[in-house]
Structures are given as C-alpha cells and as structure tokens.
Amino acid sequence: MNKTTTKQPRSGRWPPRWGASGWLALCGLTLLLVLIVTGLAGGPASPALALVALIFTTTCSVMAIRAAKRHRRAWIDEIRSRTERLGALRPPKPVEPSPLATTEDERSPEELLKLALDRRDREIRGELGEMVLAQATMRAIIGAVDSPVFAISDDGRVHLCNRAGERLIGRSGLKLRGLMLDEIFPSTRLLALHARAKSGVAASENVSMTFDGMPRVFDVAAAPARADIGDVPARLGQWAGVVLTLRDVTEAARAVQLKTDFVGNASHELRTPIASIRAAVETLSNVAPDDAEMHGRLTEMITNNVRRLEEMVADLLDLSHLESEERAVQRRAMPFSELALAMAQLFDAAAQEKRVELVFEADDALERLETDPKLIHLIVRNLIDNAIKFSFEDSEVVIEAEVVGVGELATERGGPRTAGLAPSTAEKPIGRSDWAGMRLRVTDRGQGIPLKHQPRIFERFYQVDQARTRGGVSRGTGLGLSIVKHATRRLGGEVSVDSVWQEGTTMCVEIPCCVRPA
C-alpha cells in the first residue's frame, strides 16, 4: 500500500527557499544576458530565436515577481503571528478600531509592516509604563507604613524592605537586599515564624530583640506571599516568599509586665500586715487576762499593721485615680502659705519624734498660686513623708518653692521663713533653665539613695533595700514616689532626683502654674 506524505510549508523559515518560478526567472535572465552579449559581439542571431528568448524571459520575470510577493506576504504574516503571540501574554484590553481594518487593502506590505511594528512598540511602552507605575505605587505604599516590612524570597534572602525597616536595621535597602534573614535578625523565634510561613502557614508572635543596645519587643507577623503577573508563565512572572511585618509593642509589653508586677507586689504587701494581725490575734487569745504588758504589745502590733493597711489602701486608691485620668485637673486659687501650714501640722508629730525641723521657703508670688489643690497636696505630702523617714536625727528637711520664668513670673525670693535654708545636697542645681512655672525642691540630710537604684525609685512598690529602714525607720508602702510621678504628670510637669549616699537627697518637681497678677 502506497503512502502519500504531504509536507506543510514552514512559515517560520527565513529567508524562504526559491520555488520553480524563481529558477525559471533565473534561467530566463541568463538567456537574455547571453543574447545581449552575442549581439554586442556581432555574431549571427536568428530573429525567431531572439523573440522566443524575449517571451520566455518576460514570462519568467513575471512569475519571479509574483513569487517574491507571495513570499513577502508570508513573511509579513509570520511577523503578525509572532506579535499576536506576544500580545497574548498580557491581559486582554478593549480593542480599539485599527487603521489596518479599513486601509489594509489600500496599503503596501511595507506600510502594513511598519504600522504593525509601531503599534506593538506603543503597546510595549504602555505596558512597561504601567509596570513601572505599579512598582512605584507599591513601593510608596509600603514605604508609608510606619512598621518595618520585609519581603523575604524563597531562599531566605531579603528581597525588599521599607524605610521603617531601613531605620530599624540601620542600613539602606540596597545594602540589605540579598542578605540572609539570619544575618539581620539573629532570633530563633523569628526564624521559626519565617519557616512556618514558608510552608504556607501564616503566624504571628511577640519576639524580643536588641537594637542599639536597647531590648525591644516586636509583634512579628509572617505571611506567605506569591505575586503573579497576569498570564505570564510562572517561571517569568511569579515571586514567591514570605512577608514579615514587625510592630513595636515594647511599651505595651512593659505595661503588661508592670501590671503583672503590680498585682504580685500588692498581694505580697497586703499579705504581710494581714499575717501579722492574724498572728497577734491568735497570740492574744492565748494570753492570760492579767498579762497587761503582753496585751499592750500585741494591741500595738495590731494597731500598727491596721494603720499600714489603711495607708496602703489609701495610696492604692490615689494611684488608681491618677492612672485612670477620669478626674479632670481642677485649678483654683491656693496660697502656698496654706499648703505649708497644712503640711507642718500633718507632720508635726513625725518630725518631733525624729527631731527633724521642717523649713519652708517660698516666693511671695506663690501666695497668688492657682493649681489643683488635691494634686499638689499629694506631691508635697509624699515628698515630705519620705524626707522625714530617711533623714538623720537632729537635721532639717527644707521645702523650697519658687516661681521661675520671664516677665511677671521672674520674682525674687522674699517669703517668710521659720528657719535658715539649708544648702542643697546636689553638687549642682537640678531642674530646667528654659522653663516657666513653679519649681519645688524637698531636701533632706539623710541616708541618700545609691546611684544604681535611682532610675527605679518611681516604680510602684519599689524599695531600695532594708538598710534604709534600719534604725527605727518605719517601712513605707513603696507607692509614695510613684504617686508623686503620676500627680506631677497630671499637672503637666516633671520630677527628678539628685542624691548622694549617706549625705542626702533632693527631689525636684517642676509644674506649670498660673500666678494671678498682684
């Protein structure tokens, strides 16, 4: 059985092979050339032979021209086909009427080719412009995010990061690009989150890391990501990896830790006096009725611990009110002399027991002071209470109040005083010099605070050590200076400390205040 094989023309071959017409044209041109040469040489030539050759040559030339046009048309069709396949790689767009549709039959193949190439050039330029704009928009959006964002490629290298990420690491995006993730984040927990996201599971967790020597806590979210660009094949148009977002939650984590510590410390501080009261009551029930000395000792123990509980509850309530910020600051006229008199009466017994003299000195302008009486009472009361507790016997606690500022607030000190003002234990004056308001200093001659403890004295329930409570010094609640800090902040002020161990302490409070004109 005979098989017939038909070969399809290959439209993609260039240059196209010559067909039979091309060879005929070549033979005709050769024959014409021979006749011309023979005529020039003067040789004999038959008119019939010349006519036949001319007809043959003309026919071959016409056939050659038609063959050339046909092959040129095939070449143009091939270019169109390839441009159409390139155009299929982009998402379809609304088709606009093309001039080729109406003028194709009226234009030469060269013009049609030029139009097709120009149109494709415009399309490519438009697509490139759209891609550049999309990339710039994406970078602008990511750059506007406050939190650091890192795009990690599938092999664990940094592909992209925003400006917040550059600030966090301290390098530019160009220097970060290509670095391995573990080179910039040496955290096993963060690397574990990246590994989970790489497997296709989004995850988030708080991660502690150190930057510039400061411990920080970040809420790290890791999510798998894949970018597909239209219908472009995966090997050309896809990016796969993980996007890491780091949100700084250091302050929130610290607040949670402070709350946890507060609950634990409060429970411990409340448990101690309650246990003492219970022990005293149990002992009292077994003491003989006629043992007056033991009865008196146990009764005093119960009374002291009840007083301690009352003080602690009062301090906790004060601190709770200050932190809740539900109560608005209520300013009214409050002469400083009234505050000094109230404090002198409140601490008279404690000062006499310790043989400590309270010295008040204030600017005359502070008789026209307007501030929140409750908050200023909390500040002064707790500062004087601490100063008396930790002062040496037969010493002074000096309370200085002055108005600082410009114009009407720049008054000279001239208020009445009950005793000489002792010099501050500070080596140099503390407080700000470019500020207007009331500056209050409470200075004692006492045990002082070791330098290593000074940054933490304003924490709730923080006590320096037991050495400061020896020698008959009653133990406080550990909330006094925390109350001072919060009350000062409610008034828009600041508090600072300057202390020398075994020499004394100066507490400085600066608050904005209003002094009525004289």
CA distance 350 to 352: 6
Give the per-residue pLDDT at 72: 66
Could you tell me where the DSSP H helices lie in 88-204? 99-103, 109-144, 163-169, 173-176, 181-184, 188-198
Give bridge partners of residue 226 from the DSSP assignment.
240
Predicted confidence band of residue 275 (pLDDT cuts 50, 70, 90): confident
Q: Which of 193, 198, 191, 194 is nearest to 226 (CA)?
A: 198
pLDDT digits (tens, 9 = 90+) for 62-119: 676 666 666 667 767 777 776 666 555 555 555 555 554 444 456 777 777 788 888 8
- Is residue 420 pLDDT above 70, yes or no? no
The backbone torsions φ and ψ at residue 98, rounded to the nearest 5 degrees and listed phi first, read -100, 140
CA distance 130 to 126: 6
Secondary structure (3-state) at 333: strand
CA distance 289 to 307: 25
**What average pLDDT is seen over the chain?**
75
CATH homologous superfamily of 145-248 equals PAS domain (3.30.450.20)
Helix (H) or strand (E) run with residue 274 in it: helix 250-286
- Is residue 16 pLDDT above 70, yes or no? no
The backbone torsions φ and ψ at residue 156, rounded to the nearest 5 degrees and listed phi first, read 85, 15
Give the per-residue pLDDT at 220: 93
pLDDT digits (tens, 9 = 90+) for 432-448: 445 568 899 999 999 89
CA distance 62 to 423: 122
Secondary structure (3-state) at 442: strand
Do 119 and 113 form a contact (C-beta atoms < 8 A)?
A: no
- Which pair of tokens denotes residue 493? 């002020």
pLDDT digits (tens, 9 = 90+) for 185-224: 888 899 999 999 988 888 899 999 988 888 899 999 999 8
pLDDT digits (tens, 9 = 90+) for 446-467: 989 998 888 888 887 777 755 4
DSSP-derived letter for residue 146 is S
Instruction: State mean pLDDT over 383-407.
Output: 87
Give the per-residue pLDDT at 329: 83
Q: Which of 399, 379, 377 is nearest to 332 (CA)?
A: 377
CA distance 484 to 477: 13
Q: What is the DSSP string of 239-265?
A: EEEEEEEEEE-HHHHHHHHHHHHHHHH
Do 498 and 433 form a contact (C-beta atoms < 8 A)?
A: no
Higher pLDDT, 134 or 1: 134
Higher pLDDT, 66 or 358: 358
Contacts of 241 (CB under 8 A, 6+ apart): 151, 152, 153, 154, 159, 198, 224, 225
CA distance 276 to 278: 5
Q: Domain 255-327 carries which CATH code?
A: 1.10.287.130
Does the CA dihedral 175-179-181-184 come out positive or negative? negative
CA distance 461 to 510: 24
Q: Which CATH class is domain 330-515?
A: alpha beta
Give the per-residue pLDDT at 3: 46
Contacts of 139 (CB under 8 A, 6+ apart): 160
Higher pLDDT, 350 or 429: 350
DSSP-derived letter for residue 449 is -
| Helix, strand and coil percent figures for the chain, each rounded to 5 | 50, 20, 30
Region label for 403, one of left (φ > 0), alpha (ψ between -120 and 50) or beta (otherwise): beta
Give the per-residue pLDDT at 282: 86
The full set of domain ranges for the chain reads 20-86, 104-136, 145-248, 255-327, 330-515
